[in-house]
Homo-oligomer: A and B are copies of this chain.
Amino acid sequence: MAEEVLLSISGGGEETQKFLEKIILKYLGNHLLNSLEDSTLLEVSTSKLAFTTDSFTVKPLFFKGGDIGKLSIIGTLNDLAVMGARPRFLSLSLIIEEGFPLRDLERILKSMQETLSENKVLVVTGDTKVVPRGALDGIYINTSGLGEIIYPGLSARNLKPGDVIILTGSIGDHGVCILAEREGFKFEVDLESDCASLFPMLEPLFTSSLELHALRDPTRGGLAGVLYEWARASKVDILIYEEEIPVKPQVRAFCEILGFEPYHFPSEGRALISLPEKEANVALEILRSHPLGRKSKIIGKVLEKREYPRVYLETPYGTRRILELMEGEFLPRIC
């Protein structure tokens, strides 16, 4: 086989077959994907499903804490998990530039394989398109995901006055890592993506008898993006205690130097949860018992209903300022 991805791979002829068998199935093969039919037959155990899709255009492809392969699996698993679903099946669509190194593609597929296996999820259907040189920068990956609902009712519209808001770890790690690596910033302290699958940490919350109102992972748009989406969808004000938001020192330093706010940087392995205050202690206990949730804490609360709601930051001095929603061009190709 050639050392580069060739146009002929996606022509539907001999080379397509060989590519599927020698490369794709080598890493991702399973009893469902191996059928290689136009669509794959699945059996689900409930009629209530969650369905999601995401395309990944991150640059660089390989970064500290992950790569586009791991990210494209994790991102979709997390979109299912935050809606109370157990991730079951993924689709995978690769769009590759002619001449892309096969070595890099295999490294990406191997990373996917590991992430899939850790999460007991299968890629069951796929597609590969190769486009001529210059028609795309390297490789973009789409995954769509299907999950089975095990905790129904979570919604951005579901926040209630009196809820507290829990965050499961530090914010901005993924976004800052990608930006720093892409732009070649050098820091003494390492920056690393927090890219991680949330379902294993969340599952015990779903199977407990706790009342949960909303759940989300702060990816594009960051913490501020989720909080504004929630505030607007539920028509409630939200108050966040600035001092309580965990930001790693190296992330904070990076943001200060460049004049950014960490609230706008995406994470890829954190969860935000809105739930009644009386449930918070048990929820924190459950979350902290998982390695990914060890630093879970309450960072804010839901205030009263409001027609034009806002998100406030309470500063360490006890004053309040409005948390700004990010505007304008900010972070292309961050996920």
Contacts and interface: CB of A to CB of B under 8 A. Distances in A.
Contact of A41 (B14, B53, B82, B149): B149
A38 B45 CA distance: 22
Given A8-B328, A12-B221, A333-B132, A39 B95 contact: no
A53 B91 contact: yes
Interface in A112-163: 124-127, 129-132, 134-137, 140, 142, 144-147, 149, 152, 155-156
A331 B39 contact: no
Given A15-B327, A47-B47, A131-B333, A38 B52 contact: yes
Contacts of A145: 39
Interface residues of A, number: 86
Given A14-B325, A136-B140, A54 B220 contact: no
A332 interface: yes
A144 B79 CA distance: 16
Nearest to A91: B53
Nearest to A214: B37
A221 B325 CA distance: 48
Interface string A218-235: 011110010001000000
A330 B8 contact: yes
A318 interface: no
Contacts of A331: 11
Contacts of A229: 17, 36
Contacts of A42: 48-51
Given A8-B327, A53-B144, A129-B57, A333 B221 contact: no
A140 B95 contact: yes
Contacts of A40: 50-52
A108 interface: no
A210 to B, nearest CB: 20
A255 interface: no
A15 B328 contact: yes
A79 B132 CA distance: 25
A270 interface: no
A80 B93 CA distance: 16
A35 interface: yes
Contacts of A50: 39-42
Contact of A39 (B85, B136, B326): B85
Interface of A: 6-8, 10-17, 35-45, 47-55, 57, 78-80, 82-83, 85, 89, 91-95, 98, 124-127, 129-132, 134-137, 140, 142, 144-147, 149, 152, 155-156, 216-217, 219-222, 225, 229, 264, 266, 325-333
9 contacts: A7-B332, A11-B326, A11-B328, A38-B82, A41-B152, A54-B127, A91-B144, A93-B142, A130-B332
